[in-house]
Every structure is written in structure tokens, then in C-alpha cells.
Amino acid sequence: DAGVTQSPTHLIKTRGQQVTLRCSPKSGHDTVSWYQQALGQGPQFIFQYYEEEERQRGNFPDRFSGHQFPNYSSELNVNALLLGDSALYLCASSATRLNTGELFFGEGSRLTVL
């Protein structure tokens, strides 16, 4: 049973560019959440998708957007990249119908903005 998979694992972009990160949830999970983890800090909640809709959103600007597909996979898009967007982006999946409160995290996509 594959866990949460993310791609790419590492990428380098320059300021002003756009990036798309991808996530496949754990089998049987229907909810995907995205977190940003800056170096030396705890993860910060970006947003959450359920039934192809953004269900909750953290305190991030509109440059951060996402999408969930019918197969529950998800994308995170960041436009007009800033140096401060350099971080590890974590995808976490969960099964809303099971109500366990447990998130399963992927290994992350490390974004470096130059």
C-alpha cells in the first residue's frame, strides 16, 4: 500500500516564476492538506481540499492556489515566487469519513527560490 507520494522531491526556481507541486494521497484517503515548512520551523497550514473543493485555508496570499482531481490527487501552485517561498512543502492525506483525526504526510517537495 503506497503512502502519500509527492513530486518533484527537489526543485529550484527564480523569483517571479511559477511552480506546481503534485501529491497523490494514501489509498482510501479523500482529503488532501498542504503545509509549508520553512527551515527551522514547524509546518504552517496552507489549505485543504475535499471533494474537489477548497474546504479550509490558512493565512497565505492568493499567489498560493490548489486543485483536487476526481482521483483525490492534488496540486499546489505558487505564482510570482518570492525568496521567502523557499521551504519544504508537505502534502498530508486523511480520510474524512473515518474521523480518526490522523494525517499521513509525504516526504515533501523542497523548493529553493533564487
Partner 1 sequence: AQSVTQLGSHVSVSEGALVLLRCNYSSSVPPYLFWYVQYPNQGLQLLLKYTSAATLVKGINGFEAEFKKSETSFHLTKPSAHMSDAAEYFCAVSRRSNDYKLSFGAGTTVTVRA
Please give the Cα distance from 22 to 81 (Å, whole number): 17
Q: What's the gap between Cα 32 and its chain centre?
A: 8
Backbone angles phi, psi at 98, to 5 degrees: -85, -20
CB nearer to partner 1: give 79 or 105: 105
Asked if 92 and 74 touch (Cβ cutoff 8 Å), the reply is no
Binding letters toward partner 1, positions 11-50, x by CB under 8 A: --------------------x-x------xxxxxx--x--
Q: Is residue 103 part of the contact set for partner 1 (CB under 8 A)?
A: yes
CB nearer to partner 1: give 3 or 79: 3
Listed in order, strand segments (DSSP E) in the chain are 5-7, 10-13, 19-24, 31-37, 44-50, 53-57, 64-68, 74-78, 87-94, 104-105, 109-113
Q: Is residue 7 part of the contact set for partner 1 (CB under 8 A)?
A: no
Residues 51-80 that bind partner 1 (CB under 8 A): 56, 58
Q: Is residue 108 part of the contact set for partner 1 (CB under 8 A)?
A: yes
Residues that bind partner 1 (CB under 8 A): 4, 31, 33, 40-45, 48, 56, 58, 90, 92, 94, 96, 99-108
